[in-house]
């Protein structure tokens, strides 16, 4: 397990799409076409939209993408839990005698490498304990009576900090911070091992890029996307992780650029695009995710384009 952990995490950093265990943290969009999400629709949409317009729309086209640091952190947490569970099972199987009170350094008999540094009180782990694999630390956690309770730090395969976690009665509860190269990339509230509250994601310069409200692991409420200057680019309403309500896209000056409506993940109603001066640019009507009235384009002075 320890060897697989190192290989898996190195591979994920290079070509991760999404590791196991984090897909439930992403909202679902039931429209099959990614271009349909924000780019102009209609029978002749691609022909009539210029390359410049497509580039403008692609900047805000992506939906909730779990940041790499968050995804890796979730995988590390899952593997850490498996390693610790295996160790606990092995201890019971070996009928290992209780350790005396004090600090104990546990060493692998075959390799001579340290695997654990335990603080024992009353025969149980009490205090800050450390866990290693192949000589590299992967967890430093606060224990009370053999249960993780309090602050903990999880590390990647290089021994660099991956997440700061707070445990209550052996489950994540409170603020969880994901790191990459020493920088905070995400901060989220957890309750009973699930995201519950606001999750904020950052870019490499520390700028806020997204805010997602979470309820028991699912996006619930209005999500917000920002550019590096702090301008609001997009808002979208979610219910139980699925688009439901209005999605709005804004120009950098805050003026509305586009509005769409969703019902249970499917487009409904009328999509409307606007010029920077607020004039209607185009509109397309949808019903249950399908176009029922083709896109109509307008000039800046309100005339229908021929």
Mean pLDDT lowest for which of 178-182, 196-200, 302-306? 302-306
Mean pLDDT lowest for which of 91-95, 118-122, 247-251? 91-95
What is the rounded CA–CA span in Å between residue 107 and residue 143?
20
What is the rounded CA–CA span in Å between residue 215 and residue 31?
23
What is the rounded CA–CA span in Å between residue 212 and residue 304?
38
Give the pLDDT band of residue 158 (cuts 50, 70, 90).
very high
Residues 241 and 216 in one domain: no
Residues 217 and 241 in one domain: no
Handedness of CA 23, 27, 31, 35 (dihedral sign): negative
Give the pLDDT band of residue 33 (cuts 50, 70, 90).
very low
Instruction: State how many domains the chain has.
Output: 2
- Pick from 166, 198, 221: which residue ends a domain? 221
Closest CA to 128 of 153, 157, 101: 153
- The answer to the question of residue 266 being in a domain is yes
Q: What is the pLDDT of residues 130-139, one digit of tens each?
A: 999 999 999 9
Residues 204 and 231 in one domain: no
Q: What CATH number is associated with residue 127? A: 3.90.930
Cα dihedral 221, 72, 146, 89, rounded to 10, equals 120
pLDDT recorded at residue 93: 53
Residues 294 and 167 in one domain: no
Q: What is the pLDDT of residues 188-243, one digit of tens each?
A: 999 999 999 999 999 999 999 999 999 999 999 999 999 999 999 999 999 999 99
Higher pLDDT, 257 or 57: 257
- The answer to the question of residue 140 being in a domain is yes
**How many residues belong to the chain?**
306
- The answer to the question of residue 22 being in a domain is no
Residues 289 and 233 in one domain: yes
Residue 19, pLDDT > 80, answer no
What is the rounded CA–CA span in Å between residue 213 and residue 260?
20
Range(s) of the domain holding residue 235:
30-59+227-306
Stretch 137-162: mean pLDDT: 96
- The answer to the question of residue 7 being in a domain is no
- 3 state SS of 252: coil
- The answer to the question of residue 17 being in a domain is no
Closest CA to 141 of 132, 150, 133: 150
Q: What is the pLDDT of residues 253-284, one digit of tens each?
A: 999 999 999 999 999 999 999 999 999 999 99
Residue 49, pLDDT > 60, answer no
- The answer to the question of residue 20 being in a domain is no
- Hey, which residues does 304 pair with through a beta bridge? 298
Mean pLDDT lowest for which of 46-50, 163-167, 168-172? 46-50
Residue 56, pLDDT > 60, answer no
Residues 182 and 253 in one domain: no
pLDDT recorded at residue 131: 96
- Pick from 221, 248, 273: which residue ends a domain? 221
pLDDT recorded at residue 76: 77
């Amino acid at each position: 397990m320890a060897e697989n952990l190192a290989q898996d995490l190195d591979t994920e950093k290079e070509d991760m799409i999404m590791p196991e265990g984090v897909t439930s943290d992403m909202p679902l969009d039931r429209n099959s076409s990614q271009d349909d999400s924000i780019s102009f629709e209609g029978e002749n949409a691609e022909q009539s939209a210029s390359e410049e317009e497509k580039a403008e729309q692609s900047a805000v086209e992506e939906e909730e993408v779990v940041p790499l640091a968050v995804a890796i952190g979730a995988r590390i947490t899952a593997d850490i839990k498996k390693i610790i569970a295996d160790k606990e099972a092995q201890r019971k199987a070996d009928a290992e005698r209780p350790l005396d009170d004090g600090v104990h350094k546990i060493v692998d008999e075959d390799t001579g490498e340290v695997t654990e540094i335990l603080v024992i009180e009353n025969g149980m782990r009490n205090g800050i304990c450390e866990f290693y694999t192949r000589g590299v630390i992967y967890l430093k956690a606060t224990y009370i009576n053999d249960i993780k309770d309090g602050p903990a730090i999880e590390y990647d395969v290089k021994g660099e900090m991956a997440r700061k976690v707070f445990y209550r009665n052996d489950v994540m509860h409170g603020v969880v911070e994901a790191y990459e190269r020493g920088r905070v990339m995400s901060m989220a509230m957890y309750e009973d091992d699930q995201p519950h509250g606001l999750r904020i994601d950052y870019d490499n310069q520390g700028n806020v890029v997204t805010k997602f409200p979470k309820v028991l692991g699912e996006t619930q409420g209005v999500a917000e996307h920002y550019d590096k200057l702090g301008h609001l680019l997009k808002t979208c309403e979610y219910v139980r992780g699925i688009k439901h309500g209005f999605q709005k896209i804004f120009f950098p000056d805050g003026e509305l650029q586009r509005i769409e409506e969703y019902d249970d993940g499917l487009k409904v109603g009328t999509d409307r695009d606007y010029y920077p001066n607020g004039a209607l640019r185009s509109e397309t009507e949808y019903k249950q995710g399908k176009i029922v009235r083709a896109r109509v384009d307008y000039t800046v002075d309100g005339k229908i384009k021929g």
